[in-house]
């Protein structure tokens, strides 16, 4: 059996509320719903059950003390000249960077291929396509975003299932952070 996995941190309820309040104003954007909001530490992708079990065990050995994060500002990703997603930016955090590196090491030791993309901490708010409206006015209106701080005291291994209406994320294992 195949599992589509990723490791993430879920924002606190007050931060989620702040994000939901700003999720409007770009025509034909596919806004994330409340259950989809997360900060991906590592996308793993499709793996078989034995590797999924090894991943779950390896993540259980990650040690990091709880810490605080703040969201500051917004941005977008593009494919070529066209915006593909808008997101909330995560303020620089040495603790988050260290946690992400520990997660990456654990996954490689479990048998995952190393990640080649640079870690860009963000919370995706909407997915866009060529029928979506202009993002510039939205980015300008919400560029002053400041949400948090929020306490990060756990990380979660999620399984993602693709459906006609988008991705559905199911928490598989939650790992408490402790030094």
Domain positions in the chain are 2-176
pLDDT tens-place values along the chain, 179 residues long: 899 999 999 999 999 999 999 999 999 999 999 999 999 999 999 999 999 999 999 999 999 999 999 999 999 999 988 999 999 999 999 999 999 999 999 999 999 999 999 999 999 999 999 999 999 999 999 999 999 999 999 999 999 998 887 788 999 999 999 97
pLDDT of residue 107: 98
Angle, alpha carbons 139-5-135 (nearest 5°): 10
Q: Say which CATH topology domain 2-176 has.
A: Cyclic Phosphodiesterase; Chain: A, (3.90.1140)
Catalytic residue among 3, 76, 122, 142: 122
- Respond yes or no: is residue 122 known to be catalytic: yes
Q: What is the pLDDT of residue 77?
A: 95
Name the DSSP class of 33: P
Longest distance between any two alpha carbons in the chain, whole Å? 47
C-alpha torsion sign, points 35, 124, 111, 98: negative
Catalytic option among 3, 38, 76, 142: 38
The bridge status of strand 154-163 relative to strand 2-9 is: antiparallel
Residue positions counted in the chain? 179
The predicted pLDDT at position 71 comes to 97
Is 3 an active-site residue?
Answer: no
Cβ contact 50:3 at 8 Å: no
What is the C-alpha separation between 152 and 177, in angstroms, rounded?
8
Neighbours of 84 (CB within 10 A): 15
pTM here is 0.93
């Amino acid at each position: 059996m195949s599992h589509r996995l990723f490791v993430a941190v879920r924002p606190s309820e007050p931060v989620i509320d702040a994000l939901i309040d700003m999720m409007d104003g770009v025509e034909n954007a596919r806004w994330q719903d409340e259950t989809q909001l997360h900060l991906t530490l590592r996308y793993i992708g499709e793996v078989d059950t034995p590797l999924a079990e090894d991943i779950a065990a390896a993540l259980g050995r990650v040690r990091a003390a709880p810490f605080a994060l703040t969201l500051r500002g917004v941005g977008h990703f593009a494919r070529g000249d066209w915006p593909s997603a808008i997101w909330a930016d995560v303020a620089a955090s040495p603790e988050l960077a260290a946690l992400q590196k520990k997660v990456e090491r654990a996954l490689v030791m479990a048998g995952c291929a190393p990640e080649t993309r640079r870690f860009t901490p963000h919370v995706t708010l909407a997915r866009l396509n060529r029928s979506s409206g202009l993002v510039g006015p939205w980015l300008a209106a919400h560029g002053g975003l400041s949400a948090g701080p929020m306490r990060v005291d756990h990380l979660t291994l999620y399984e993602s299932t693709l459906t006609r209406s988008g991705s559905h994320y199911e928490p598989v294992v939650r790992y408490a952070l402790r030094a």
